[in-house]
């Protein structure tokens, strides 16, 4: 197993969140891109404003590294039209994968037709442009029953609206890594939540994001059935080093 091909090396903090200058933040993004190229990771996950930066570095190095970005991040409350507009801009800049934050608050309000339409329309935009699409459900904001329901909703939307050959291009993803829990409980992937997602997403693939902090955790997630792992510590995990980062 080449664990590096499961790892999406991730840096999604803004300069403000990191309490640093924009110049310093760009340096971190550049270093993360360069590391991902040299280490041979599957994908670099960055904010939309850095897609062009990554594209240039990848082209110059003749790398196969993929570029992913987040859409409507981290709240997921924008309209379907706003989500699609943001995704279309990312596509024009050369992104390979679109990670949409689902409107989980609308889902919790039982506005299911709205959420279903959003999943279908945003997925259609991605697939029609030959992009992989992932739906971040934000498990820390949901109870187990809701995790099952929203995962099944995404699966059913995809099965009813797209071809079987496209199923492996639409992921259900666990977390943004930015949700603030009330009681200090984990805000990223947990084994129990991932099991529920895998059971209810099939035949769609699942991505575990946040909370995977060791090689052993990553292997256990892969053995459960996840196809991708999002982490800000990809190199440490690949080298079997423990990390204390928050994503």
* Domains observed in the chain: 3-238 (3.20.20.70)
Average pLDDT, the chain: 96
CB under 8 Å to 153, separation ≥6 — which residues? 107, 112, 115, 116, 119
**Bigger pLDDT: 2 or 246?**
2
Residue 1 confidence (pLDDT): 82
Query: Which pLDDT band, with edges at 50, 70 and 90, does 247 fall under?
Result: low
Inter-residue contact 118 to 154 (CB < 8 Å): no
Give a three-class secondary structure readout of 80-102.
HHHHHHHHHHHHHHCCCEEEEEC
Question: Could you list the active site residues?
Answer: 99, 173, 207
Does the structure show a pLDDT above 70 at 18? yes
For 160-183, the DSSP string reads: HHS-GGGGGGEEEE---S----SS
How far apart are the C-alpha atoms of 127 and 177, rounded to whole Å? 25
pLDDT in tens, 29-66: 999 999 999 999 999 999 999 999 999 999 999 999 99
- Ramachandran quadrant class, 153 (left: phi over 0; alpha: psi -120 to 50; beta: rest): alpha
Alpha-carbon span 247 to 245, nearest angstrom? 6
Tens of pLDDT, residue by residue over 171-198, are 999 999 999 888 878 899 999 999 999 9
Q: Is pLDDT above 80 for 246? A: no
Q: How confident is the model at residue 156 (pLDDT cuts 50, 70, 90)?
A: very high
Per-residue pLDDT tens over the stretch 93-134: 999 999 999 999 999 999 999 999 999 999 999 999 999 999
What is the reported pLDDT for 186? 83
User: pLDDT at residue 81 above 70?
Assistant: yes
Check whether 83 has a pLDDT greater than 80: yes
């Amino acid at each position: 197993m080449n664990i590096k091909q499961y790892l999406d090396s991730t840096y999604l903090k803004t300069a403000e969140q990191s309490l640093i200058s924009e110049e310093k933040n760009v340096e971190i993004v550049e270093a993360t891109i360069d590391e991902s190229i040299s280490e041979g990771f599957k994908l670099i996950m960055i904010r939309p404003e850095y897609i062009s930066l990554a594209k240039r570095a990848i082209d110059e190095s003749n790398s196969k590294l993929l570029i992913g970005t987040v859409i409507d991040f981290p709240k997921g409350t924008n309209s379907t039209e706003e989500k699609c507009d943001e995704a279309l801009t990312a596509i024009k800049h050369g992104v390979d994968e679109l990670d949409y934050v689902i409107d989980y608050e609308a889902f919790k309000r039982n506005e299911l037709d709205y959420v279903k339409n959003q999943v279908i329309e945003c997925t259609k935009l991605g697939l029609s442009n030959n992009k992989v699409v992932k739906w971040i459900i934000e498990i820390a904001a949901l109870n187990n029953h809701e995790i099952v329901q929203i995962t099944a909703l995404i699966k059913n939307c995809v099965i009813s609206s797209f071809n079987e050959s496209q199923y492996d291009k639409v992921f259900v993803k666990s977390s943004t890594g930015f949700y603030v829990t009330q009681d200090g409980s984990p805000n990223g992937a947990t084994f129990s939540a991932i099991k529920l997602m895998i059971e209810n997403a099939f035949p769609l693939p699942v991505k575990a994001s946040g909370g995977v902090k060791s090689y052993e955790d990553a292997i256990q997630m892969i053995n459960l059935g996840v196809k991708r792992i999002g982490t800000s510590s990809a190199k440490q995990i690949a080298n079997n080093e423990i990390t204390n980062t928050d994503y």
